[in-house]
Amino acid sequence: MSEIKFPIYLDHHATTPLDPRVLDEMMPYLTEKFGNASSLDHPFGYEASVAVESARDKIAKAIGARHDEIIFTSGATESNNLALIGTMEKYKDKGDHLITCVTEHKAVLDTARHLESLGKKITYLPVNEYGEINLEQLEDSIKEKTVMISIMTANNEIGTIADVEKIGNIAHDHDVFFHTDAAQAVGHIPMNVEKMNIDLMSFSAHKMYGPKGIGALYVRGVKPRIKPNPILHGGGQERNIRSGTLNVPGIVGFGRAIELSQHEMKAENNRFHKWSVEMFESFFNAGGKQNGHPTKRLEHNLNVYFKGIESKSIINSISKEIAISAGSACTTQIVEPSHVLLSLGFAEERAHSSLRIGIGRNNTHAEIQYVTENIISCVKKLEKITL
């Protein structure tokens, strides 16, 4: 059995493959168990509803939440929209100010821009060279009219992990809600909404080996009890917070995926830690520099800068065999440099010469070694051309 499977997929921040164990669990709900989870008058609906509630339990348990604090959505993009728009609208009597940060995913940044167009006031906190906000600056930016702080848990490009617990503490000291986009964190690092003082949290199944098109918003039920206004109107599913017929197979898969991630997280992170350290060391020796925080980072993320080497040239020359990314998938249609790398204070050149690698569950050590060698030999070749 070959230890290398071509093409080698190393873009797990964009999406992850569906774990076959997740598909097995979903299969009956894609076929004979097709009921609508709201049709409680007959066994078809009832069995779908039981499956949904069992998945909801697993998801709640994995993040230290209560069953009824999980609202199913179509993914983290929708969860972010619901959290920001729904909460700012619902609590408009309290104020009109939202605090977020410049390195957020577009699903937060563009939602914040939309809120600005509706007259809300937004503070975009800057970050240091590692992608961290300054907590004193965060506290100083809280005003009388501040309703919410939204800061992501782990960055999807550079892997930097924020001090979520402290941010939540600051928010609560000032009676401000705390939302976090944890799409890259849930399933990868331990998350606990109680311990971390989180009031609203967005996450998504396809970032943790589950299916695409299903995600959740955690919405705190007590101390404080929050209820964002809906952004989708209709049948009143999900406690009137998110209407629409539930995606039963997706939800069942999401439940299984998060359960598996809790079992495998520790072993996977140990493995990914060894591999990413090894990869970084080889890249350093070839002149590469790390983007993101040296230690407070996702173990499966590498973001590396090779001075003077366009990342697109590397990607183009290895793309038949190796799938990696120049930035985030959501912006790869646009040739704009990464807003995250620019926010770290780097010039456009660095943003155009950086690669993002996301290691995943099915990768092998042989693949990591193969990719490392190939990237380095590619860099060396390109260096010769540019000299």
Ligand X SMILES: *Cc1c(COP(=O)(O)O)cnc(C)c1O
The residue among 177 and 203 lying less far from ligand X, judged by its C-beta, is: 203
Helices vs strands, H then E, count in the chain:
12, 12
Candidate residues 107, 112, 257, 371; the one interacting with ligand X per rule CB under 6 A = 107
Plot region of 244 (φ>0 → left; ψ -120 to 50 → alpha; else → beta) = left
Q: How far is the CB of 18 from ligand X (least distance, A)?
A: 14
Q: Which residue has the tokens 């939440």?
A: 65
Contacts to ligand X from residues 322-381, by CB under 6 A:
none
- Minimum distance of ligand X from residue 74's CB (angstroms): 7
Residue from 183, 324, 375, 379 in contact with ligand X (CB under 6 A): 183
- Residue 207 Cβ vs ligand X, minimum distance, rounded to whole Å: 6
Closer Cβ to ligand X, 184 or 303, answer by number? 184
Greatest alpha-carbon span in the chain = 74
Q: Which of 155, 237 has the CB closer to ligand X?
A: 155
The answer to the question of residue 99 lying near ligand X (CB under 6 A) is no
Residue 181 interacts with ligand X (CB under 6 A)?
Answer: yes
φ/ψ of 242, rounded to 5, equals -145, 100
CA atoms in the 13 A half-sphere facing the CB of 309:
28
Q: How far is the CB of 175 from ligand X (least distance, A)?
A: 26
Amino acid at the residue 323 = A
Per the rule left: phi > 0, alpha: psi between -120 and 50, beta: everything else, 172 is: alpha
- Binding residue count for ligand X, defined by CB under 6 A: 13
Whose Cβ is closer to ligand X: residue 313's or residue 354's? 354
Least Å distance, CB 161 to ligand X, is 12
Measured N-to-C along each axis, helices 43-63 and 248-285 cross at an angle, to the nearest 10 degrees, of 30
The three-class DSSP label of residue 1 is: coil
Binding status of residue 84 toward ligand X by CB under 6 A: no
Q: How far is the CB of 257 from ligand X (least distance, A)?
A: 13
Pick one of 207, 220, 271, 300: the residue that binds ligand X (CB under 6 A).
207
Binds ligand X (CB under 6 A): choice among 10, 48, 60, 77: 77
Contact status: 105 vs ligand X (CB under 6 A): yes
Bond prior to 7 in cis (omega within 30° of 0):
yes
Q: Which of 50, 277, 330, 347 is catalytic?
A: 330
Phi, psi of 180 (to 5 degrees): -135, 135
The residue among 183 and 351 lying less far from ligand X, judged by its C-beta, is: 183
Residues 141-180 that bind ligand X (CB under 6 A): 152, 156
For the residues of 109-166, what is the DSSP string, one character each? HHHHHHHHHTT-EEEEE---TTS---HHHHHHT--TTEEEEE--SB-TTT-BBP-HHH
Q: Is 330 a catalytic residue?
A: yes
- 101 has which bridge partners? 125
- Residue number, 146 or 325, with CB nearest to ligand X: 325
Out of 16, 25, 60, 75, the residue judged to bind ligand X by CB under 6 A? 75
Q: How far apart are CA 354 and CA 306, in angstroms?
A: 6
Active site amino acids:
330
Q: Enumerate binding residues for ligand X (CB under 6 A).
A: 75-77, 105, 107, 152, 156, 181, 183-184, 204, 207, 215
